[in-house]
Structure 1
Amino acid sequence: MHDILEGVGKLECKLVLRHLIHEEKLFTLDLLNQRLSSFSYGFVDMKNKPSLISASTLLNEDSSFKNSASQMWCFIRYLPLIIGDQIPRGNQYWELLILLRRVMDIAFAREVTESMIGHLRYHLEDHHTLFKKLFPARDLTPKHHFLVHYPFMIEKVGPLINCWCMRYEAKHAIAKCLATVVGNFKDIAKTVAERHQISQCHRWYTHGVGQNPVIRNPVKQLIRETEGCATLLGKFPNLCEVDEIVVNKSISLHGTEYRSGMSVNIGVQDCMPSFGKLIDMYCIGSDIYLFGTMWETHGFDDHFYAYEVLSRYPVEFFLIKQDELRSYQPLQVVSSYDEQRKELLYISLRSAAVLTGRINEHMLIGPRIC
Structure 2
Amino acid sequence: MRCRRCGFISSSQEGLLRHHQLRHKKETLWPCVFSDCVCTFKTPGALKSHLTRSHCRSEKREETATFFCELCEFREICTQRTFFTHLGHHLKNQETVHCPFLHCDFKSNNFKTFSSHRSRKHKNTKGIRNCFRSNPEKETFVTEPHVLDQSSNSEVVALPSSSRADSSENGGEDFVEAETIEHKLASLFLCMQTVLHVSKSAVQKIIEELNDILHFSKQHSHERVRQILTEHNIKVDDSVVQEVTDAVFNTNPLIVTTEAKGVLSTDHRRNLYFKDHFPVIDPTEYIYKRTHRNTFVYVSVIRVLENLLRQPDFSEKLVFNREDKPGHYWSFRDGRYFKANRLLGVEETSISIGLYIDDFEVCNPLGTSRKIHKITAIYWVVLNLPSKFRSTLPLIQLAALGKSADVKLFGYEAFFYPLIEDIKCLERDGVYVEVLDKFVKGTVFCVCADNLGAHSLAGFSESFNVEKFCRFCCLNRHQIGTVEARDFPLRTVEQHDQFVAELKSSDKDSVNGVKGACALSEHLSYFHPVTGFPPDILHDFFEGVIPVELCLCLKDLIKKGFITLDGLNSRIKLFPYKFSDKVNKPQQITKASFGKGRISGNGHENWTLLRLLPLLIGSSIPEQEASWEILMDLKEIVEIVLSTTLSEEILCYLESKISDHRKLLLDTFPDFRCLPKHHFIEHYVHLISCFGPLVDLWTIRFESKHSFFKKVVHDVLNFKNVLLTLSSKHQQMMAYYLDGQDLFKPKLHVSNVDTVNTTSLEEKLRKVIEKKFHNQDTVSLAKDVYIYGTRYTRGMIVSAGQCSGLPEFHKILNIVVNFEKVCFVTSKLSSWFMEHYRSYEVIDNGYADIEILETKDLNDYHPLAAYTVTGKLMVTARTCLLH
**TM class by smaller structure:** 0.7 to 0.9
What's the counterpart of residue 109 of structure 1? 643
**In the alignment, structure 1 residue 308 sits paired with structure 2 residue 841:** yes
Q: CA deviation at 1:326?
A: 1.8
What's the counterpart of residue 749 of structure 2? 214
Change in Cα spacing, 1:183 to 1:80, as seen in structure 2 (3 Å) is same
Q: CA deviation at 1:189?
A: 1.6
Name the SS of the counterpart of 2:588 in structure 1: coil
CA distance in 2 between partners of 1:313 and 1:262 (Å): 14
More strand by share: 1
CA distance in 2 between partners of 1:167 and 1:319 (Å): 33
Name the SS of the counterpart of 1:315 in structure 2: coil
Q: Deviations over 1:46-74 (max 9, x none)?
A: 1111011122223x1433x2210011111
Q: Deviations over 1:227-283 (max 9, x none)?
A: 5322211222322xxx23322101101111111111111211333211111122112
- TM-score normalised per structure 1: 0.86
CA distance in 2 between partners of 1:56 and 1:44 (Å): 28
AA aligned opposite 1:237: H
Q: Deviations over 1:71-127 (max 9, x none)?
A: 111111110111011100010111111121222122112111112222222222221
Match of 2:876 among 345, 348, 354: 348
CA distance in 2 between partners of 1:18 and 1:170 (Å): 32
**In the alignment, structure 1 residue 127 sits paired with structure 2 residue 661:** yes
AA aligned opposite 1:273: P
Change in Cα spacing, 1:39 to 1:274, as seen in structure 2 (3 Å) is same
Q: CA deviation at 1:220?
A: 2.0
Name the SS of the counterpart of 2:717 in structure 1: coil
Q: CA deviation at 1:219?
A: 2.2
Contact 2:568 2:617 in 1 (8 A): yes
**In the alignment, structure 1 residue 194 sits paired with structure 2 residue 732:** yes
Q: CA deviation at 1:346?
A: 1.1
Map of 1:319-358 to 2, 5 A cutoff? 319-337=852-870, 343-355=871-883
Map of 1:160-171 to 2, 5 A cutoff? 160-171=694-705
What's the counterpart of residue 44 of structure 1? 580
Contact 2:551 2:597 in 1 (8 A): no
CA distance in 2 between partners of 1:105 and 1:234 (Å): 36
Q: Deviations over 1:277-323 (max 9, x none)?
A: 112211224422111211111x1111111011112276111112212
Match of 1:224 among 735, 759, 783: 759
What's the counterpart of residue 143 of structure 1? 677
Map of 1:258-269 to 2, 5 A cutoff? 258-269=792-803
CA distance in 2 between partners of 1:53 and 1:134 (Å): 22
Q: CA deviation at 1:168?
A: 1.6
What's the counterpart of residue 565 of structure 2? 29
Q: CA deviation at 1:40?
A: 2.6
CA distance in 2 between partners of 1:132 and 1:201 (Å): 57
What's the counterpart of residue 236 of structure 2? none
What's the counterpart of residue 20 of structure 1? 557
What's the counterpart of residue 393 of structure 2? none
Which segment is superposed worse, 43-52 or 227-236?
A: 227-236
CA distance in 2 between partners of 1:8 and 1:160 (Å): 17
Change in Cα spacing, 1:9 to 1:285, as seen in structure 2 (3 Å) is closer
- TM-score normalised per structure 2: 0.37
Change in Cα spacing, 1:284 to 1:188, as seen in structure 2 (3 Å) is closer
**In the alignment, structure 1 residue 296 sits paired with structure 2 residue 833:** no
Match of 1:277 among 808, 811, 831: 811
AA aligned opposite 1:171: K
AA aligned opposite 1:192: H
Contact 1:111 1:353 in 2 (8 A): no
What's the counterpart of residue 42 of structure 2? none
Q: CA deviation at 1:200?
A: 6.3
Contact 2:781 2:817 in 1 (8 A): yes
Aligned residue pair count: 340
Name the SS of the counterpart of 1:276 in structure 2: strand
Identity among equivalent pairs (%): 27
Which segment is superposed worse, 274-283 or 5-14?
A: 274-283
Name the SS of the counterpart of 1:349 in structure 2: coil
Q: CA deviation at 1:33?
A: 1.1
Change in Cα spacing, 1:266 to 1:182, as seen in structure 2 (3 Å) is farther
Contact 2:827 2:846 in 1 (8 A): no
Match of 1:234 among 760, 766, 771: 771
CA distance in 1 between partners of 2:783 and 2:733 (Å): 34
Name the SS of the counterpart of 1:329 in structure 2: coil
CA distance in 2 between partners of 1:34 and 1:200 (Å): 48
What's the counterpart of residue 87 of structure 1? 621
AA aligned opposite 1:18: K
What's the counterpart of residue 262 of structure 2? none
Contact 1:44 1:330 in 2 (8 A): no
CA distance in 1 between partners of 2:694 and 2:551 (Å): 25
Q: Deviations over 1:142-186 (max 9, x none)?
A: 111111111110111111111111122223333333333343444
Contact 1:260 1:280 in 2 (8 A): yes
AA aligned opposite 2:854: K
Name the SS of the counterpart of 1:326 in structure 2: coil
What's the counterpart of residue 77 of structure 1? 611
AA aligned opposite 1:265: S
Change in Cα spacing, 1:196 to 1:75, as seen in structure 2 (3 Å) is farther
CA distance in 2 between partners of 1:115 and 1:220 (Å): 45
Change in Cα spacing, 1:12 to 1:179, as seen in structure 2 (3 Å) is same
AA aligned opposite 1:195: M
Name the SS of the counterpart of 2:872 in structure 1: strand
Which segment is superposed worse, 115-124 or 144-153?
A: 115-124
Name the SS of the counterpart of 2:643 in structure 1: coil
AA aligned opposite 1:188: L
CA distance in 1 between partners of 2:563 and 2:747 (Å): 48
What's the counterpart of residue 340 of structure 1? none
Name the SS of the counterpart of 2:750 in structure 1: strand
CA distance in 2 between partners of 1:61 and 1:210 (Å): 40
Change in Cα spacing, 1:124 to 1:108, as seen in structure 2 (3 Å) is same
AA aligned opposite 1:232: I
Contact 1:50 1:75 in 2 (8 A): yes
CA distance in 1 between partners of 2:677 and 2:541 (Å): 8
Which segment is superposed worse, 6-15 or 345-354?
A: 345-354
Q: CA deviation at 1:42?
A: 1.3
Q: CA deviation at 1:201?
A: 5.4
CA distance in 2 between partners of 1:323 and 1:261 (Å): 20
CA distance in 1 between partners of 2:733 and 2:847 (Å): 55
Which segment is superposed worse, 26-35 or 171-180?
A: 171-180
Change in Cα spacing, 1:40 to 1:197, as seen in structure 2 (3 Å) is farther
